[in-house]
A and B are shown apart, each in its own frame.
Chain A
Amino acid sequence: MNRILEKRELNSTTVLLKLEAAEIAAKAQPGQFVIVRTGELGERIPLTIEDYDREAGTIQIVFQKVGAGTLLLGALKEGEMVTDVAGPLGVATHLDGYRKVAVVGGGVGCAIAYPQAKHLHGQGVPVDLIAGFRSKEIVILEEEMRRACDRLLLATDDGSYGQKGFVTDILREQIEVGAGYDRVIAIGPVPMMRAVCGVTKEYGIPTTVSLNPIMIDGTGMCGGCRVTVGGKVRFACVDGPDFDGHEVDFDELMKRNGSYREQEAEKKGHVCRLLGVE
C-alpha cells in the first residue's frame, strides 16, 4: 500500500499525487510508468512517473480526471492509501549521446515530458522545452518545467498565455532559425505526437514518442497495448512505451484507444453520481 503524502490540484481536471514508494523511487528512470488501482473493483491504469526522489523514497504521478479510474484516484485525500501501485514498468527513455534536444509536451503530457527534460538538463545537455496548452487556465507545472530546461517555450492554442499557436508551430520556427536539435522527444495526445513527427520527418530529426495505448497488466502478458511500429507488432508496456515516432502507426493507435469509449462514458457517469460531481 502506498500512502499519499501530498496532493495538488494543478488545474480543474489535473491532479498531482506524491506517493510513498521507496522501492519504486530507488529504481525509477525517466520514461517509466506505474500501474495504479483504486479500490477492489478498480481498473488498472498506467500512469507515467512524473518525478521521483530516491532519498525521500517518493514518486509523483500527474493525471487528468477523465474516466472512472482517474476520478476515483483523484478523489483520494492526502494521508490515504492507494490500493495498488506496481512499477517501475516499461523501458526507460534513451537519453545518452544527444547534443541538443527539444522536449515537446502537450497538455497533461507536459508532466510526462518533464522528467526527460530534467534528466538531460541535469546532465548538461542543452534542452528546449516546448509546452503547449489549450488556454491559460490549464497551464501546469510552469515553474518546474522552467527549472528543467534551458529555454521554456510556452504556447497556448488561443494565445491567452505565451505564444499563440501549436507546439508544432514553435518547433518549426526553432528548427528554421537553426536551433540545431539532434533529437526531439514528443509526449502528449496522439494527434499532437503525430503532428510533431510530421514536422521532424521533413527535417530528418530523429524523434522519440511515448505511446499511451490501453493497458491492463503492464507486464507483457495480454497484448492489449500492442502497437504497430515499423510494420512490426510491439507491446508498448514491455517494448516501450518509447518508440521511433517516424515508424509508429498513429491512426491505428487512435482507433484502438477508442475501443471502450461507450463503456467508459457509462462508468464515468456512474462514478460521477457516486462522488457527487458534475
Chain B
Amino acid sequence: MADMAMEKNAMPVQAPEERRHNFEEVALGYTAEQAAAEAQRCLNCRTRPCVAGCPVNVDIPDFIAKLRAGQEEAAYESIARHSSLPAVCGRVCPQESQCEKNCVRGIKGEAVAIGRLERYVADRHNARAEKKVERPEPSGRRVAVIGAGPAGLTCAGELARQGHGVTVFESLHLAGGVLSYGIPEFRLPKSIVAGEIEGLKALGVEIRTNEVIGKLHSVDELFAAGYEAVFVSTGAGLPNFMGIPGEMLLGVYSANEYLTRINLMKAYRPEAETPLATVRRVAVIGGGNVAMDAARCAVRMGAEEVSIVYRRSEAEMPARREEVEHAKEEGIVFRTLTNPVEILGDEAGHARALRCARMELGEPDASGRRRPVAVAGSEFELEADTVIMAIGTSPNPLVKNTTPDLETDRRGCFVVDESMHTSKEGVWAGGDAVTGAATVISAMGAGKKAAAAICDYLQGK
C-alpha cells in the first residue's frame, strides 16, 4: 500500500545563515530512510504521465519500484538506460514543470519527489567504488560531437552505448559546458559533474579539451578525418549586454564572466590564481536562473548588499521558484518593476550607481508576457559598485562562421528538422545552439533525439 502523505518528504538543507558564507551544496540530499519513505508515495499508476513529462523519458515508476524493493543498483541501471547524467538532472531539472508536473499525486497534494529520488539513486551509485561497466561491441563507426555540455555529453553517451566511437571536442580546459562554468558549486558540486563525465569515459567516450572547432578544425575537416556524422552542441554562450551607457565601466560584468571566474576558475578559493574584485553593493540585472546564480555567488563572495533588478514583476520571473526562495532566504533584495537606463561611474572609471526607471506592466506582448512600460519621471539612483548583466545569451558563431553551408536563423540558431538534422548532410545540432538559451534537460533531450537519428543514419549508410 502506498504512503498517502500529501506532502513530499522534506530534504535537509544547509541553514541560510551558514550557507551564505560557503560554496558547499545547499540541498543535502535524502538519507536512505527518507528516500525509502518517499519511494512509497509513488502509486506505480498505469497511466505513467510522469514519463511523458521527462524530456529523456526515464522509466520513473520502474526505477522507483526497484528502489522500493531495496535494489538501488538496479534502480540506477533503469535510469541510466535513458539518462546520461542522472546526478546532474536530479539536481538542476525544473521538475515542477516536467516529470513532477504530471504526477498523479500532485492533483491532491504534492507530486512524488522524482528529482530527489533520481539524485539519491545516482549519488549512491557514484559513491560505489566498484562499478560494473559493460562496453558494447564496437561498431567501427565514428561520430564527432562539438561541445561537451549537457546536449553533447548526452548524445555522446547514447552513441557510445550503441558501440559507436565518439570523440567530443571541447573548447575549454574542462568538459561540462554550463554544468562546469555556469551553475555554481552550491547547486551542483563539480565533483558530481566530474563523476558523470568519468562514467561516460568508462563507456568509451573520448573527450578532447582545448580544441576549438571553427578555429583548430572545421566541420569539413572532421569528415575528412573519418568521422561519419557530426553533432553540433555549442550552446548559447555569447553574452548579451543591454546597450545602455556605462557598460564599459570597471565592475560591470556579464553573468558568464562572473560565473566563469567563480565556477570554472575557482576564484572563490584563495589559492586560485584567477582574480575577482571584492564587491560591496552588487546589482544583478535579470530574473532568470543565471541571475539567481550570480546573485547568490556575490553573497558568498562577501557583498554587503545584493539586489536582483528585474523589469517585470516577480510573477513573470523565469527563474525556478525554489531558486527565488533560496535567494530570498540568503538575504538578496528583489527590486522588481525596475529597469536600468544607465550605469554611472566615478572619476576612476569604476561603476558607482545604476540609474533606474520604475516600470508598470502594460499589454501582453507577442510572447504573452505583459510588457513593462517605464513610469514617466520615476528615475532614481541605486548605489552599485558591481553590475552583473544576466539578460540572456546568444549562440556562439564560431562554428557557423566557418561552415557556410550550415543554415542558421536570424538569431544565429541552427535550423534543424524534426530529427535534429541541419541543412548540411551528416550534421545534426541540438541544445541551446538550436533553441537559444533554454534548460539543461531540454538540451539533453535534444542530444538523445539526435543520437537516435544518427544511429539510424549510420545503419542505413
Which residues in A have some Cβ–Cβ distance to B below 8 Å? 23-24, 27, 37, 39, 41-44, 68-69, 72, 83-89, 216-217, 219-224, 226, 228, 233, 238, 252, 255-256, 258-260, 263-264, 267, 271
Contact = CB atoms under 8 A, between A and B. Distances in A.
B185 to A, nearest CB: 14
6 contacts: A39-B273, A43-B265, A84-B210, A86-B173, A219-B398, A258-B250
Contact of A255 (B253, B269, B271, B349): B349
Interface string B338-360: 00000000001100000000000
Contacts of A222: 239, 254, 256-257, 260
Given A84-B209, A222-B254, A267 B273 contact: yes
A154 to B, nearest CB: 34
Contact of A228 (B210, B248, B253, B398): B248
Given A39-B273, A43-B275, 9 more contacts: A37-B173, A69-B273, A84-B210, A86-B172, A220-B398, A255-B348, A263-B275, A263-B277, A264-B275
A226 B272 CA distance: 24
Nearest to A39: B273
Contact of B396 (A24, A44, A219, A267): A219
A43 B273 contact: yes
B8 interface: no
Contacts of A83: 173
B261 interface: yes
Given A37-B173, A43-B265, A252-B349, A220 B396 contact: yes
Interface string B439-450: 000000000000
Contacts of B349: 252, 255
Contacts of A89: 212, 215
Contacts of B273: 39, 41-43, 68-69, 72, 267, 271
A88 B210 CA distance: 10
Contacts, number: 107
Contacts of B274: 43-44, 216
B238 A221 contact: yes
Contacts of A23: 211, 216-217
Contacts of B372: none
Contact of B216 (A84, A87, A264): A87
A260 B272 CA distance: 14
A38 B238 CA distance: 26
Nearest to B255: A222
Nearest 6 interchain pairs by C-beta = A263-B275, A222-B257, A221-B237, A86-B210, A43-B273, A260-B275
A222 B253 CA distance: 8
A216 B275 CA distance: 11
B385 interface: no
B269 A27 contact: no
Nearest to A83: B173
Most buried by B among A72, A83, A222: A222
Contact of A44 (B173, B239, B256, B397): B173
B142 to A, nearest CB: 17
A88 B212 CA distance: 8
B293 interface: no
A259 B248 contact: no
B211 A86 contact: yes
Nearest to B240: A223
A226 B248 contact: yes
B212 A87 contact: yes
Contacts of B260: 216-217, 221-222
Nearest to A252: B248
